[in-house]
A = this chain, B = another copy of it.
Amino acid sequence: MSLLLLLFDLLGTFVFALSGGTLAVRYRLDVFGVLVLSCAAAVSGGLARDVLIGAQPPAALADWRYLAVAMLAGVVTFYRHQAIERMRNPVQVFDGAGLALFAVLGTSKALDYGLSPFAATLLGMLSGIGGGVARDVLVARIPVVLKAELYAVAALAGGGVVALADVFDLPRTPAMAVGALVCFGLRYMAIRHGWHLPAAHLPDDRG
């Protein structure tokens, strides 16, 4: 992996970990709980992807830098959570960048392990949203990534670009760049304009 990609990957890990740490502080967990939620939010998506494609041990365990960065984010959150809460907007932007990167990297890795473009796109999405799902399940709330503005859809779109390029034998690297831009752009616009997917219509008198 190129140095630039690694830096982005670690930055995405850091920002995802911030989201886990912030949630842990809100739920009044102790410093260890903050570290666990930081790590869970940062690496669960990649762990699930790697276990499903048979890439064991997963990258997040084989390379110590991922968990070290996640723990660093946890420590920062523990001591500076109010500052981080105030920076909600920049954090959301970085989170969108992390999502974009995880989605295209996840899709690419799944393709390398021989999965079909369809399955690879789903695994890219899982790489992107798995951390958020694990983080929220651990505090017993419905994962916000299942409800947030086009969150997982943006990941699907980004990974889909990479998978489509693979179908048509186009070069991988520019496809990943385009996919990441598509994912990030979609998520950014959704945050800015409050874009939502529709929910099903329910009669008011439901039980």
B-chain residues with CB within 8 Å of residue A147 when the two chains form the complex: 29-30, 33
* Cross-interface CB contact of A119 among B62, B137, B138, B199, cutoff 8 Å: B62
Q: Which residues does chain B contribute within 8 Å of A56, judged by CB atoms? A: 51-54
Point out the residues of chain B lying under 8 angstroms from A8, CB to CB.
none
Within A175-207, the residues touching B (CB, 8 Å) are: 196-200, 202-203, 206
List of B residues within 8 angstroms of A203 by Cβ: 82
Whether the pair A61, B122 counts as a contact (CB closer than 8 A) is yes
| Docked pose: A30 CA to B190 CA in angstroms | 14
Interface band, chain A: 35 or more
Q: In the complex, which residues of chain B have a beta carbon less than 8 angstroms from the beta carbon of A67?
A: 118-119, 122
CB proximity to B under 8 Å, residues A24-39: 25-34, 36-37
**Residues in chain B near residue A62, CB distance under 8 A:** 115-116, 119
A75-119 vs B, CB cutoff 8 Å, 1 = contact: the mask equals 001110110000000000000000000000000000001111011
Question: Which A residues, 128 to 169, have Cβ-Cβ distances below 8 Å to chain B?
Answer: 133, 137-143, 146-147, 152-153
Q: Is the CB of B202 within 8 A of A32?
A: no
Is A123 part of the binding interface, using a Cβ–Cβ cutoff of 8 Å? yes
Partner of A138, one of B57, B113, B143: B143
Smallest Cβ distance from A45 to chain B, in angstroms?
14
Q: Which residue of B lies closest to A64 (CB)?
A: B118
Q: Judge whether B28 and A199 touch: CB under 8 Å.
A: yes
Q: Is the CB of B57 within 8 A of A57?
A: no
Q: Do the beta carbons of A53 and B57 come within 8 Å of each other?
A: yes
CA distance A81 to B147 in the complex (A): 19
A52 to B37, CA, bound (A): 18
Nearest CB to that of A125 among chain B residues?
B36
Residues of chain A touching chain B, judged by Cβ–Cβ distance below 8 Å, are 25-34, 36-37, 47, 51-54, 56-58, 61-62, 64, 67-68, 77-79, 81-82, 113-116, 118-119, 122-123, 133, 137-143, 146-147, 152-153, 196-200, 202-203, 206
